[in-house]
Copies of this chain bind each other. A is one copy, B any other.
Amino acid sequence: MTFWNFFFTNKNTKIIHKKNKNSEKQQIFIENLIKNDKNINIYYSTNKNINLNDLEKLCDAVGWVKRPLKKVKIAIENSFLIISIFYYNENKKNLIGFARATSDESFNATIWDVVIDPQFQGKGLGKALMKETIKELRYHDISTITLFADPEVIKFYKRIGFITDPDGVKGMFWYPI
């Protein structure tokens, strides 16, 4: 069964959601992302088979610390959900956004590694990516969706509906010394 779902992230961005319930691969076409004469083809996929070098380049572009590709591969394989955003230009597929979530597939999920290519930031893509991530997790009836936000993106997540320290609950970290 295929169904379509239309929603708007902002006045410049129209997202057309094409979902095949019986297929692992789900695509969402975003049209008119940049308001100009031509349409730009952007879509996103939950397929885990992602080019790790492309992901590394994307993470590099936002200044993240390099991580061993072997470990990134394992992390992706063992994530419950992967969402990648691609931009098609002259038939070339470019990775411009990414997010993933670990989960017990029942109660809780934690979102990690949310990244949008700096050239495509400020266009509502981050918001669209998070909305889609939440939607996918809610589709699996996961009710507690968590993440750890750097200070500069706390406001962004608040606008999407995330709250900090509900009832005094604190995110805590343990690192090896």
Q: For chain A residues 147-177, which have a beta carbon within 8 Å of chain B? A: 147-151, 154, 157-158, 160-177
Q: Could you tell me if B154 and A170 are in contact, using CB atoms closer than 8 angstroms? A: yes
Q: Which of B71, B74, B147, B169 contacts A150 (CB 8 A)?
A: B169
Cβ of A72 < 8 Å from any Cβ of B?
Answer: yes
Interface string of A98-137 (1 = CB under 8 A from B): 0010111111101010000000000000000000001000
Q: How many copies does the complex hold?
A: 2
Q: Could you tell me if A170 and B172 are in contact, using CB atoms closer than 8 angstroms? A: no
Q: Which residues of B contact A138 (CB under 8 A)?
A: 176
Distance of A107 Cα from B174 Cα, bound (Å): 12
Distance of A77 Cα from B145 Cα, bound (Å): 19
Q: Could you tell me if B171 and A170 are in contact, using CB atoms closer than 8 angstroms? A: yes
Q: Which residues of B contact A13 (CB under 8 A)?
A: none
Query: What is the predominant secondary structure among interface residues of chain A facing chain B?
Result: mixed
Q: For chain A residues 65-83, which have a beta carbon within 8 Å of chain B? A: 67, 71-72, 74-80
Q: Which residues of B contact A102 (CB under 8 A)?
A: 102-104, 108, 110
Interface size of A as a range: 35 or more
Q: Which residues of B contact A12 (CB under 8 A)?
A: none
Distance of A112 Cα from B78 Cα, bound (Å): 17
Cβ of A20 < 8 Å from any Cβ of B?
Answer: no
Cβ of A146 < 8 Å from any Cβ of B?
Answer: yes
Q: Which residues of B contact A10 (CB under 8 A)?
A: none
Cβ of A144 < 8 Å from any Cβ of B?
Answer: yes
A–B complex contacts, Cβ < 8 Å, 17 sampled: A71-B106, A72-B106, A74-B105, A78-B103, A104-B112, A108-B110, A108-B112, A147-B171, A147-B172, A148-B170, A148-B171, A150-B168, A150-B169, A151-B169, A165-B170, A166-B173, A171-B172
